A and B are shown apart, each in its own frame.
Chain A
Amino acid sequence: NAGVTQTPKFQVLKTGQSMTLQCAQDMNHEYMSWYRQDPGMGLRLIHYSVGAGITDQGEVPNGYNVSRSTTEDFPLRLLSAAPSQTSVYFCASKPQGRNQPQHFGDGTRLSIL
């Protein structure tokens, strides 16, 4: 009963490095999304996907790329890490239906030096 799995749990990068945060769900959910959580700002939507092959930008997409080649996986790529991207990143998935809640992973804590 894995749900939404995020890897890694912690990561430290240097400015300018690139990396991919992994997200996988085993619930066959169509909708997946990435959020970042910063103190006093709640969760802000970075990118989302309504199905395989379909992605779109959220509220704060700059500096991030996503792809959705399968229903299960939704990786988030940092192209050139900046200190402003230091944050906790959450992946979520949800089934079809507007009233269905999102299921969250445990997060990736990312520090950019």
Chain B
Amino acid sequence: AQSVTQPDIHITVSEGASLELRCNYSYGATPYLFWYVQSPGQGLQLLLKYFSGDTLVQGIKGFEAEFKRSQSSFNLRKPSVHWSDAAEYFCAVGASNDYKLSFGAGTTVTVRA
């Protein structure tokens, strides 16, 4: 079965600074990878996804992620953070043989002025 680890529980970043959120997955074949964002009291919104092709994926809100098979990683990045990026971020992995997703525990991002 697939699994996801997000090593950072909480990250604080200054507005305008760059942000990188780590995600490591475990799965034997090519995974389907997703990043979701959750604002307080809201559901999860898809930021971006990867399933094949170019390993650098562009998403909404200026986010991008890079798939590195050799490191089993799918880290999320944003060059310049805005105060509205304060939220909880979840990495998820899907298997090629079913519809289920496995989520990481999430990383909470705080943006300071």
Chain A positions near chain B (C-beta within 8 angstroms) = 4, 31, 33, 35, 40-45, 48, 50, 58, 90, 92, 94, 98-99, 101-107
Contacts and interface: CB of A to CB of B under 8 A. Distances in A.
Given A35-B103, A40-B106, A103-B46, 13 more contacts: A31-B99, A33-B99, A41-B105, A90-B43, A92-B44, A94-B99, A98-B96, A99-B49, A102-B101, A104-B44, A105-B43, A106-B41, A107-B43
Contacts of A43: 44, 90, 103
Interface in B72-106: 90, 94, 96, 99-101, 103-106
Contacts of A45: 100-101
Contact of A99 (B6, B51, B100, B105): B51
B103 A42 contact: yes
B32 A98 contact: yes
B36 to A, nearest CB: 8
A21 to B, nearest CB: 14
A94 B44 CA distance: 13
Nearest to B95: A98
